Structure 1
Amino acid sequence: MYFRLEDKESYKSQEIGNLIRAYNRSKREEAESEPLNLYVEDEKGNLLAGLIAETFGNWLEIEYLFVKEELRGQGIGSKLLQQAETEAKNRNCRFAFVNTYQFQAPDFYKRHGYKEVFALQDYPYIGQRYYYQKNL
């Protein structure tokens, strides 16, 4: 048996991911993961904002919500979030989950009914990372 450290991406890291996903599927209840992605574009098709998420069982899991800086404060992020939550409800989701850094959007999520579940302090060194959940 040999232990080896790698400091780069390799097929072995993908293999480990595949192995843990297969193990998890064998131990938990059946649940389908389905992408839920929304985009805002201008008339030329240039990307202005978007929300990248998935629905998984009872959950909407938001990975990214981005609005170009010059367009913030106009309700675009709120509309994206509301559309995602509506679609998640249509997929029978009962909860939503997101994480955000202190410099990103904690107040935005709180205004939309998300409650802090926990926070990481000193992440990665001096920042904070917040984890929120909401009942849909």
Structure 2
Amino acid sequence: MAELELTDSPSPEDLAVISEGLTAFNELEVGPSERLPLAVLIRDDSDGSPGRIVGGLSGYTSWGWLFTQLIFIPENLRSQGMASRLLTAAENEARARGCGGAWIDTFNPMALKAYQRQGYEVFGELPAFVGDRTRTFLKKAL
């Protein structure tokens, strides 16, 4: 009989069983995901060091989609079009990888506006996700 174990400290091996099982199932259902990591890094050499990473975008491409997981822009680089530059670079790479769409989510109102300026459209919301903030899901055709 199968038993359940609840843990807040699964081992990497435990998580690999789940990930590999789901990957195998999905590949049988819809084909290989061809998942590839994608990052656009912001480097800063203003302090004399050789381009240390101060922020950027992290995500992946899979099944013909770009999914942006994380974007961080340091305070001193905000309101200078950096979000647009990061997204454009990621979208261009996603197109080169054969992707036809992109999706992202946020609960930050400023980020939401930046993504909409970049051409992303809302396709779903979770109201009161954190306090009174709504988590918004957006997509864009590439």
Scaled by the length of structure 2, the TM-score of the pair is 0.85
Report the Cα distance in structure 1 between the residues aligned to 2:84 and 2:56, rounded to whole angstroms.
Answer: 11
Change (3 A) 1:119 1:86: same
**Offset, 1:2:** 4.7
Q: Which residue of 1 aligns with 2:86?
A: 80
Specify the code of the residue in structure 1 equivalent to 2:34: E
Q: Which residue of 1 aligns with 2:123?
A: 117
Which aligned pairs between 1:1-40 and structure 2 lie closer than 5 A?
1-11=1-11, 12-40=14-42
Runs of 5+ unmatched residues, structure 2: none
**Offset, 1:23:** 1.2
Query: Percentage identity across aligned positions?
Result: 29
**Offset, 1:92:** 1.5
Which string of whole-angstrom CA distances, capped at 9 and with x for unpartnered residues, describes residues 76-112 of structure 1? 2211111111111111211001011135511110111
Which string of whole-angstrom CA distances, capped at 9 and with x for unpartnered residues, describes residues 32-85 of structure 1? 111111101112332222111211132111111110122101112211111111
Residue aligned with 1:48, SS:
strand
Residue aligned with 2:85, SS:
helix
Runs of 5+ unmatched residues, structure 1: none
Conserved? CA contact 2:107–2:136, under 8 Å = yes
Q: How many aligned residue pairs are there?
A: 136
Report the Cα distance in structure 2 between the residues aligned to 1:21 and 1:104, rounded to whole angstroms.
Answer: 35
Report the Cα distance in structure 1 between the residues aligned to 2:99 and 2:67, rounded to whole angstroms.
Answer: 10
Change (3 A) 1:14 1:123: farther
Report the Cα distance in structure 2 between the residues aligned to 1:124 and 1:76, rounded to whole angstroms.
Answer: 26
Conserved? CA contact 2:26–2:32, under 8 Å = no
The runs of at least 4 aligned residues of structure 1 exceeding 6 Å deviation read none
